[in-house]
Chains A and B, each alone.
Chain A
Amino acid sequence: MALTSRIVEWLDERLNLSDVRHFIQEKGVPIHAQKLWYYLGGVTLFLFMVQVASGILLLLYYRPSSAEAYESVQFIVTQVEFGWLIRNIHSWSANLLILAAFAHMFSVFFLKAYRKPRELTWVSGVFLLFLMLGFGFSGYLLPWNELSFFATKVGTSITGAVPVIGPPLVRFLRGGDDVTGATLSRFYALHVAILPATATILLGLHLLFVQRQGMSVPIKTLRALKPGERLKEMPFFPDYILRDVLVWYIAIATLAALAAFYPWELGRKADAFAAVPAGIRPEWYFLAMFHTLKLLPSHIMGLEGEMLGVLAFGLAAAVLVIVPFLDRRASRGEPSPALTVLGVLALIYMIAFTIIGYMAA
């Protein structure tokens, strides 16, 4: 401990860390009935860090060409010491990360933490969620096995349903008319450079906003306060940090359990000329959307069913981004049950269709 305080003093002399130290000492987290939801943001951040670290490790051995991608992943899991562990962690943490991101988003939504003054935090967060989905989609192709190849083929063809810009968008995503090595190159660039760079900026902003504004307190809790009463707070350091670390350890335990019970398989190397395997479907986080599109009739009122479906999802995404600006009541500090109901319906729809999508296979 003496060493750390000497290092801190050395830095303080040069960088004047008094503001930072004061901030850390004074930072507090409100205590109330809903405080457990606060941990979801931290877990999401933790899992993202795990992805970055394991992803960088995989990057040391992975080869992004259709001739070698599968073999390089096989090399990692068979020849590189603990390669199987790093790969399993990366694959499972991806799923947990998206789950945590959705849970974080929904908890913020239902607790109306997006209301004024935290609109920008919400907007940056929603875009981060989209980025995570982009990470998931682009990363899924990289092992270049049958499942990932055909899932990408099906997934990218759906973007073709967007009116006007659909077909050029598909060509842009695929790097051509079909899913080929060109697609792999593109997705690789997306996955290791473009998305991480964008995510770093957005994440930085997102965390900056959170530090500046502190934690939001639910409307009901605020309203229940007696005049002049202030919410009790726990100091961020060491109390909240220890709890955060506890949750992170539970996340690590979940990861270890998943890697032990359901180790990720290699699959068969992708063959562009093989038939699409029956029952092909994307990963669970796209399943609700995918299954909805499958169930839509081919034409609705003269318009293509798939196009309407894709437009509807686009509209939903747009609405999600501007939720803080739509919810006037919450901005005023009043409960807004209408949006809560909408949110519950959306959640039920997503869970139900994910389950139905699974059972349909």
Chain B
Amino acid sequence: MNRRRFLDGILGAGFTSTLAAIVYPVWRYLIPPVSGEPATQSVVAARTAEVKANSALLFKFGSKPGLLVRTPEGELQAFSAVCTHLQCTVQYKADTSQIWCACHNGLYDLAGNVVSGPPPRPLERLTVNQRGDDIVVSRT
């Protein structure tokens, strides 16, 4: 192989790899990411089967935690899991079916209203919808 063809070979390989180096990222970019869209207004909290009656799970809503609760009657409720007192993360107590904040014993009922303790305001309520198998939580 003479020098000229060697050079042409390198150039050909170079152009092809440049093309590949452009096409590959663009191709991957075009494929929609798993998370769908920015989680400002709505987010897929869980799959329907993951939340059993009288249980709850924490999910990520933007940069704050959210609480998805299935009441003992089977209804789905979602709240911001940020306690209105000192912003600790609340949790679900299955034995009393209430939402509880471990920090200063704040208690909320399943409508998010304050039952006892220091929280000054009810928990922020979020809207729950079903989309196929997904539970979609959004800010109204």
Contacts and interface: CB of A to CB of B under 8 A. Distances in A.
- Contact between A and B in the complex (any CB pair below 8 Å): yes
A86 B40 contact: no
Contacts of B18: 249, 252
B120 to A, nearest CB: 24
A82 interface: yes
B29 interface: yes
Contacts of A60: 30
B35 A85 contact: no
Interface string A79-96: 111110110000000000
B1 interface: no
Nearest to B32: A80
A67 B37 CA distance: 14
Contacts of A68: 38, 40-41
B5 interface: no
A82 B25 contact: yes
B19 interface: no
Interface stretch (A20-28, A69-77, A272-280): A69-77
Contacts of B49: none
Nearest to A57: B29
Is chain A's interface secondary structure helix, strand, loop, or mixed overall?
helix
Contacts of B35: 75, 79
Contact of A81 (B33, B38, B41): B33
Contacts of A71: 38-40
B28 to A, nearest CB: 4
A85 B25 contact: yes
Nearest to A72: B38
Interface residues of A, number: 18
What is the size category of the interface that chain B forms with chain A? 10 to 19
Contact of B37 (A57, A75, A82): A75
Contacts of A63: 38
A67 B40 contact: yes
Contact of B25 (A74, A75, A86): A86
Interface string A346-359: 00000000000000
Contact of A80 (B33, B39, B40): B33
B63 to A, nearest CB: 10
Nearest to A89: B25
A83 B29 contact: yes
Contacts of B26: 57, 82, 86
Nearest to A73: B38
Contacts of A86: 25-26, 29
B28 A75 contact: no
A82 B28 CA distance: 7
Interface string B15-53: 000100000011011110111011111000000000000
B33 A79 contact: yes
Q: Pick from B29, B30, B37, B39 the residue with the most CB of A within 10 Å.
A: B29
B38 A74 contact: yes
A252 B40 CA distance: 35
Contact of A82 (B29, B39, B40, B41): B29
A86 B26 CA distance: 8
29 contacts: A57-B26, A57-B29, A57-B30, A60-B30, A63-B38, A67-B40, A67-B41, A68-B40, A71-B38, A71-B40, A74-B38, A75-B33, A75-B37, A75-B38, A79-B33, A79-B35, A80-B29, A80-B33, A81-B25, A81-B29, A81-B33, A82-B26, A82-B29, A83-B29, A85-B25, A86-B25, A86-B29, A249-B18, A252-B18
Shortest Cβ-Cβ A-B pairs, 10 listed: A82-B25, A71-B38, A75-B38, A81-B28, A79-B33, A71-B40, A82-B29, A79-B35, A80-B33, A72-B38
Interface of B: 18, 25-26, 28-31, 33-35, 37-41
Interface of A: 57, 60, 63, 67-68, 71-72, 74-75, 79-83, 85-86, 249, 252
Given A75-B38, A86-B25, 20 more contacts: A57-B26, A57-B29, A67-B41, A68-B38, A68-B41, A71-B38, A71-B39, A75-B33, A75-B37, A79-B33, A79-B34, A81-B28, A81-B29, A81-B31, A82-B26, A82-B29, A83-B29, A86-B26, A249-B18, A252-B18
